[in-house]
Each structure stands twice: as C-alpha cells, then as structure tokens.
Chain A
C-alpha cells in the first residue's frame, strides 16, 4: 500500500440490461456464444477517476446520473461491465445506512457482525466497541434487537460503525442528509477528522457539503463525466446548468453559454464600451443614480440564461455614504438593477443573492419572496428595480453578489439572465470578535450575583 493513490478507475462502464423477463437474463448469462437477449441502458459510460490518497472528493449530479452506481462499483457491491478498478485499502461504505444489519439481532451483535464483514476480528472490535457505543449514543438500546430501533438510532449506530472501522477509504452516499441537526453536526465533525489521512468519496445533493468538505468535485450526467475540478467552479457550473435544464453538450471548458452573443470574456469588466447588443439600450432614461461605480453587465462565463430580458447594469449604495463596495452590518443599503426586455416577459422575477467565498448562500430575496407586484415587460422596455434593505449582521469577509431575472414563479421559471458574482462586497468589522457567520442583534446581558460564596 505504498501507493499514493487510493482509487483508480479506468473506462468504467456499467449497463443495466433491460430484459423482457428473468428468463432471457438467465439464458444470456449461460449462453455459450454470449447471445444477447436484452436492450442496454447505460448507467455509466466510461468513467475515469484517479483519486490520490487522503483527498476528499464529491460527486454531484442529478438523480439517475450514475452516482450511486459508481459508488457501488467502487465498493465492489456490483461489478462493472468493463474497465479497470483499483482500490488500495480498506473501504467502509455508508451506501444505505444499516443495510448490513439484521433486524433480529441486537445492536451489539450487529456491530460485531459488521466488523466481521469488514474483515475485522473479534478482539479488535472488542477494543473499538466502547468508542462506537459512545458515538452512537443509543444507550441501553445497544442490547435490544435492531428492529426496535427508531430510524434515527439505526442510522446513528450504522454511522458509528462505519467510521470506527478505521477505513482507508470512506464512501458516503447521501448519508449526511439524515439525523437531527446535532447528530449531523457530530457526523460532519467526524468526517472532517478523516480529512487528510483517509480518502473520502461523498455523493450528495448538498452543495454546501461539497464546497466545505471536498478537495475536488466530479460532475456526472447521464452516466458520463461532465467535469472534474475545483468544487466552487463545478458547483457553480452545475447549478447554472440546473437552471438551464441540462449540462452543456460539450465538456464546458468553453463558456457554457450558447446564447451569449457577445465576446466570451471570463473576467467581469469594470466598465466596457457598449457592445452591439447593448447599444439599443444605451440611453435608458434613468441616469440619475448611475455613476462611476455602476457596473455594466457583459455576457461571459459567469452569466447565463435564455436572454429574453437582460440585466444591463447594477449599482450598490449605502444610503449614508453613497456608492460603496464595503458595508457595515446594520447599514441601510440599496441595490439598483437595470433591465432591458428584448421580448415580452409575462411574470418577471428579479432576485438578489449574497454568497460567501466558499459559495455558501448567505441571504437573498426576489420580487416574489418580497411579494412585490412586477408588471409584465414588453419588448423594448427598460426598467429599474431598486431593492432597499438593512445589510444583515454577517461575519466580516468578502461576499459575492449574484443578480438574476427570470420569468415565472418559484416552482417553475425560465432563467433569462443570471449574473453570478457580479460584484464583490466587503463586510467591514464592527466588533472586535465575532463568533459564527451571523451576529445576533440587540443582545442584552445581565449578570446578577444570586448568592455570595463568601460566608460573612
């Protein structure tokens, strides 16, 4: 196990054969000349992964994209049709929590049996048992049959076992999303403690987990790998594609923006001369609030959408200090957004979102959540949307602002123009020490001496 590589996959393919009946599957398996009796459904189409020892990778993708199939192949539960698989080290899998448990047996018996399955002898399990018991926190239930457990207890015990068999490779399939908040937090802490020395593979729909835990993210779509890379980048592209209703056809090294007519510039221009699609709206009759700090929006890698209505400019103000790019928590601010409709938009929705450096969504709102009437836009209309609000007491850091315009409602809408990270806002420090992402406001403290310890 001197290798620095934990998992190596090459050209892994898995097809599920759709048979008319089990009979045809049986005949095919035993047919001397391997006659085909089925139609193939490809769950994985040639996956290559090379995961170095000690790294944490996240796998994201829509339902049915092959994430779980991939994990099952890595764990050796199912076999790939072709391709090579090399796994160095002991794998502990949280595929489906408690799946190896027998409901008739007590928690204790199941823990030892799980050890046997993972090829850990009785003596070694004996040693680890107190830790597992303590982590699971199920008390006397440890000696009750597992069938009497609540699902939360079952999950806790299963998780405790999986993380205490000291795996070289820990595979977690969406298991993070269960349990109460406190236990989730504990699991997260445990998982974080694996970071660095164990290799981890997470499948999750929780983008925040990917952003905060993973070194690399893998995006799967319909059994193919769309992209591998920095979690922030992949999560951005993935969410972007999600709004567009599917990933780009091509591996998105190119800006994944089929609708962008203007130059594919990756950086956000501070101020750019009007390009041809801007020219129709170059003089909106709203210059009042526009000034040097107003940001004109150019299409590029960070923008996408159907483009029937576009965001042309964005400005950010402090009510007291004027245009700013740094604010204090509690400061009254406004955001102005200029829109140009190229076609008729029936139910326009304008949204505003603030994310931190990791891409974690901190707060946001849109014209629906604010219950604002937004009249339909006609082709050629230019509008100005002003949001006024008190900047929340969030940790001092740099934040990115994303603005979007869509057509529809919260359930179903067409994204017309989303501009990711249109500007950076620095939140300035107002307290010397701050604990957590958000500060409480108007905190009162009252300390009273109830009984003096002094005897006199």
Chain B
C-alpha cells in the first residue's frame, strides 16, 4: 500500500512538473507581492542576519574560533541547514489549509504541495549558501570538493521534511493548533540542536542523547561538507540511524496523509 503511494507520488512529480514549477513560481512570488524590492529581499534578509552574526560574535562577544574555524563560518554553515528545514516545515504544515481553492474546487493532487514548499524554499537556501561561500572565501578557508556532499545532506533533509510535512499538513486540516505546535517544536529544536553551540562542550552521554535528534545529522553534515571535508560514511552508524528514523517518519507521514486526504475537501 505505501509502496504504491510512493510510486504514484514519484510519477506524479515527474508528470506534473510543469504544474509544480508554476506553483513554485507563485509561492516564491507570493512572498514579495506588492513589495518594491521584491526578490532582493531574499538576499537582504540572510545578508543582514549573517552581518549580525559576524558583528556580534566576531566583535562583540569575541567568540573563540572552533578548530581554527571562525565562529561565524561555523555558525552560518549549521544555520543554513536549520533555516531551510524550519522554513519548509513551518510553511508546509499550513500549505493545505492555505490553498482551499485548490483542494475543494479543482481536481488537484494535494500530495505535491509540500514539494512546492521545498522548491520555493530552495531559492532562499541557495542565496544563504552563496553568502556562506563568500564568507568562506573572505576568511580564506579553502573550499574543497566535499562541498558537493552537501547535496546528499540536502536531499536527506528533503526526505525527512517531506515525511514530517505530510504528517503535520494533513493533521493541520483537522486541528489548526498543529501549526502552532510545529512552531513551538521549531523553537525548541533551534536551541536543542547544536547550531549556536558546540556539541563537544557537553559530556559524552548528553552528546549521544543530542544526536538522537535527526536534524543534528543534517546540521553537522553541512559543516562537514563546507568546512571540514569529512565524508558522510565516516560516521556511518549515525547515518544508518538517521535513515531509519527518516524512513519511519516518511512512512508514517505518507500513511496519515493518504488516510486523511479524502476528507480534506469536506473539512476545509
């Protein structure tokens, strides 16, 4: 049963790529509709954020470099992964509810909506990564070919967030509180995941507990790819753990979404 769901889903994405593309364009444009600077905001927001990091941690707090890597670079690499994840998850949770006309009035494959969110969020993600690379270059941190590995971690994050989004987006149709709960979880996740702080300051037992959070795998993976050049198979046990958890979430998400989807038009 779920196998068919995934197979259908993949053929759906391929056959309706034009529709998905159009929806992504709408989604991206919708964020800036009516604003003067429009797309430039996509660059301004992360730029200002990174400038604040640089100022606060570089000048204000004089944060110590971690393994000879300036803190601001280390922070930005982890932040890039986290921001993309949190943007997709929080948006995708409300995406079904936000498009009642598509759900109720026309024949429309709702399961692609989270994919649209992923696509739309890619724009700001690419900008963020571009700023990260500029930062690396300005601090003269050598960029290795391990950067390509970030693609693997990105895809891993997409699979995880798709499962989560199917789950929360469909439940949110019934309980609008879900959106708030997701926001709350993201708040906790932001501080609970070693993004602003180094996991190595914790005792080993706590470190293990912290690694249970699958997002840590992604955040650390981005740092490994952009800064340290560590291959993803070096810590294969945690990789295996991540994929097991992700597969479970994906399965649960698909199952719940499939069960609840026929009711969307009736409840919205």
Min CB gap B189→A, angstroms? 25
Q: How far is the CA of A153 from the CA of B174 in the complex (A)?
A: 35
User: Which of chain B's residues have a CB closer than 8 A to the CB of A117?
Assistant: 19, 102, 106-108
Assess whether B175 is interfacial by the CB under 8 Å rule. yes
User: Which of chain A's residues have a CB closer than 8 A to the CB of B64?
Assistant: none
Quick one: which of B18, B26, B266 contacts A105, CB cutoff 8 A? B26
Assuming the A-B contacts A75-B107, A116-B18, A119-B19, are A30 and B26 also in contact, with contact meaning beta carbons closer than 8 angstroms in the complex? no
The 4 closest A-B pairs by CB, nearest first: A99-B105, A76-B107, A116-B22, A26-B174
Q: Are A77 and B105 in contact (CB under 8 A)?
A: yes
Interface 9-residue window, one of A90-98, A273-281, A379-387: A90-98
Q: Are B267 and A93 in contact (CB under 8 A)?
A: no
Assess whether A208 is interfacial by the CB under 8 Å rule. no
**For window 70-123 of chain A, which residues contact chain B by CB distance below 8 Å?**
72, 75-79, 91, 93, 95-96, 99-102, 104-105, 112-113, 116-117, 119, 121-122
Q: Are B22 and A112 in contact (CB under 8 A)?
A: yes
Q: Are B256 and A121 in contact (CB under 8 A)?
A: no
Assuming the A-B contacts A26-B175, A30-B259, are A78 and B26 also in contact, with contact meaning beta carbons closer than 8 angstroms in the complex? no
Q: Are A77 and B106 in contact (CB under 8 A)?
A: yes
**For window 19-52 of chain B, which residues contact chain A by CB distance below 8 Å?**
19, 22-23, 26, 30, 33
User: Which of chain A's residues have a CB closer than 8 A to the CB of B22?
Assistant: 112-113, 116
- The size class of the interface chain B forms with chain A is 20 to 34
| Max chain B Cβ within 10 angstroms of own Cβ: one of A22, A26, A96, A119 | A26
Q: How far is the CA of A76 from the CA of B261 in the complex (A)?
A: 13
Min CB gap B260→A, angstroms? 5
Q: Are B256 and A30 in contact (CB under 8 A)?
A: yes
Q: Are A100 and B267 in contact (CB under 8 A)?
A: no
Q: Are A25 and B107 in contact (CB under 8 A)?
A: no
User: Which of chain B's residues have a CB closer than 8 A to the CB of A30?
Assistant: 256, 259-260
Quick one: which of B16, B104, B171 contacts A77, CB cutoff 8 A? B104
User: Which of chain B's residues have a CB closer than 8 A to the CB of A79?
Assistant: 262
Q: Are B107 and A29 in contact (CB under 8 A)?
A: no
Can you name 8 extra interface pairs (CB under 8 A) apart from A116-B22, A119-B15?
A23-B174, A30-B260, A72-B265, A78-B265, A99-B105, A99-B106, A102-B101, A117-B108
Assess whether B62 is interfacial by the CB under 8 Å rule. no
**For window 210-236 of chain B, which residues contact chain A by CB distance below 8 Å?**
none
**15 intermolecular pairs with C-beta atoms under 8 Å apart:** A22-B267, A25-B263, A29-B263, A76-B107, A77-B105, A78-B265, A96-B105, A99-B105, A100-B106, A102-B26, A104-B33, A117-B102, A117-B106, A117-B108, A119-B15
Which B residues have a C-beta under 8 Å from some C-beta of A?
15-16, 18-19, 22-23, 26, 30, 33, 101-102, 104-108, 171, 174-175, 256, 259-260, 262-263, 265-267
Assuming the A-B contacts A29-B260, A100-B106, A119-B16, are A113 and B26 also in contact, with contact meaning beta carbons closer than 8 angstroms in the complex? yes
Q: How far is the CA of A78 from the CA of B104 in the complex (A)?
A: 8
| Closest partner residue, chain B, to A28 (CB atom) | B263
| Closest partner residue, chain B, to A72 (CB atom) | B265
Which A residues have a C-beta under 8 Å from some C-beta of B?
16, 22-23, 25-26, 29-30, 72, 75-79, 91, 93, 95-96, 99-102, 104-105, 112-113, 116-117, 119, 121-122
Min CB gap A272→B, angstroms? 56
User: Which of chain A's residues have a CB closer than 8 A to the CB of B104?
Assistant: 77, 99
Q: Are B19 and A22 in contact (CB under 8 A)?
A: no
Q: Are A100 and B105 in contact (CB under 8 A)?
A: yes
Q: How far is the CA of A72 from the CA of B265 in the complex (A)?
A: 10
Q: Are A25 and B105 in contact (CB under 8 A)?
A: no
| Closest partner residue, chain A, to B108 (CB atom) | A117
Q: Are B174 and A22 in contact (CB under 8 A)?
A: yes
Q: How far is the CA of A23 from the CA of B256 in the complex (A)?
A: 15
Q: Are A99 and B101 in contact (CB under 8 A)?
A: yes
Assuming the A-B contacts A91-B107, A112-B22, are A16 and B266 also in contact, with contact meaning beta carbons closer than 8 angstroms in the complex? yes
User: Which of chain A's residues have a CB closer than 8 A to the CB of B19?
Assistant: 116-117, 119
Q: How far is the CA of A25 from the CA of B173 in the complex (A)?
A: 11
Min CB gap B79→A, angstroms? 31
Q: Are B259 and A29 in contact (CB under 8 A)?
A: yes
User: Which of chain A's residues have a CB closer than 8 A to the CB of B267?
Assistant: 22, 25
Min CB gap B165→A, angstroms? 17
Min CB gap A143→B, angstroms? 15
Q: How far is the CA of A101 from the CA of B102 in the complex (A)?
A: 9
Q: Are A77 and B33 in contact (CB under 8 A)?
A: no
User: Which of chain B's residues have a CB closer than 8 A to the CB of A95?
Assistant: 105-106
Q: Are A104 and B30 in contact (CB under 8 A)?
A: yes
Min CB gap A81→B, angstroms? 9
| Max chain A Cβ within 10 angstroms of own Cβ: one of B101, B105, B263 | B105
| Closest partner residue, chain A, to B101 (CB atom) | A99
Min CB gap B57→A, angstroms? 39
User: Which of chain B's residues have a CB closer than 8 A to the CB of A75?
Assistant: 106-107
Q: How far is the CA of A171 from the CA of B11 in the complex (A)?
A: 27
User: Which of chain A's residues have a CB closer than 8 A to the CB of B30?
Assistant: 104
Q: Are B18 and A122 in contact (CB under 8 A)?
A: yes
Q: How far is the CA of A122 from the CA of B101 in the complex (A)?
A: 22
User: Which of chain B's residues have a CB closer than 8 A to the CB of A26?
Assistant: 171, 174-175, 260
Min CB gap B137→A, angstroms? 38
User: Which of chain A's residues have a CB closer than 8 A to the CB of B266?
Assistant: 16, 78
Q: How far is the CA of A96 from the CA of B105 in the complex (A)?
A: 7
| Closest partner residue, chain A, to B34 (CB atom) | A104
Q: How far is the CA of A116 from the CA of B104 in the complex (A)?
A: 17
